[in-house]
Each structure stands twice: as C-alpha cells, then as structure tokens.
Structure 1
Amino acid sequence: MQSGRNAMESMKESAANAAASTKSGMEKTKATMQEKVDKMKAHGPAGKEMAREKKEERKAEAELDKNEARHQNAAEKLHNAGPAGPGHATGGTYH
C-alpha cells in the first residue's frame, strides 16, 4: 500500500510540476508579446530598451515562480508520503 501511495504522490508532483512549467511558459510568452507592443509604442531607443528590460524581468520572475512551485510540490510530496504507521501524524492513533 505504501508503494501505491508513493506512486500516487509522484504522479501528483509530476502533474503539478507540468502545470507550473506550462504557466511559466505562458507568462514568458505574454512578456515577449508585451515587449513587442511596448517597442511599437516607444519613442526612441530608451523606450525600446526599457521594454526589453521589463520583458527580461517578467521572464525571470516567471522562472522563479516555476522553481518555487517545484520546491513546494516536492515538499508537499514528502509531507504527504511520510510514514503511515500507528503513532504517526498521517496514520492511525497512538495507543
């Protein structure tokens, strides 16, 4: 039963990591598209450079968010897949 629980926790973690990667990719794409719009609206090289910098910041933030989510998913997996014998917080009561 324990191996089944570990397999389920691994599947949950993998699904959550895939979702975090997808969200990060979408945020990066939105940042790139917004940069294009900002560059078209810019009046000179300084405005275009600001648009590029803003894009890079948004992409870096998306990557940080993804990594944070991966760490959180791993920690949650460990927490949920802990020992489940009597006397442990995740299983039974201690007599």
Structure 2
Amino acid sequence: MKFIDLTIPLGIGTPPWPTYEPLQVKYFKRLAPNGANGQVVTHSNHVGTHLDGEIHFYTPGKDIASLDFDFLCGEGVIVDLSDA
C-alpha cells in the first residue's frame, strides 16, 4: 500500500479555526549569526492538519491514542479541482 501524507505545513500563516488563536512565535533570545536563538511557540488545538478523538466531542469517548492506525488508511481517489 502506498501512503500519501495529506498534512499541510504548519507556520505563522496557517489559518486557525475561526475564533481560535493562530500559531505565534515569541523570540526570547536573539543572538548574532553564530549564537543561539530561543523561541516559545504557541497555538490553539485547532490550527493546522489534525484529527480529533471521540473524547473531543463525547466525554466517555476514546482518545487519539486508542485509535487504530488502520482506521486512517484505505483506498483513495485523486480529484483535480484546479479548473473549478
């Protein structure tokens, strides 16, 4: 079986879910070219490509760690919408 990664890159411009906080990078240490830089990266849980477990919507539901990986794999199709 061939696996295709459908995730999109996560970055400053990645749109979050409406009303949620976007990804932010705060530099707390900036040094010259040969030094080290330090950052704090924060984002809400609804930014970028992700999968919610049942527990996100249903309190007694399963968490992501309980999800069988095979559930995410299967037959697929490619649809070209570039002219749509």
Report if TM-score (shorter chain) is over 0.5. Answer: no
By relative contact order (CA 8 Å, sep 6+), the higher-ranking structure is 1
Kindly indicate which of the two structures has a greater share of residues assigned to helix.
Answer: 1
Q: Which has the larger radius of gyration?
A: 1
Q: What TM-score bracket applies, with the shorter chain setting the length?
A: under 0.3
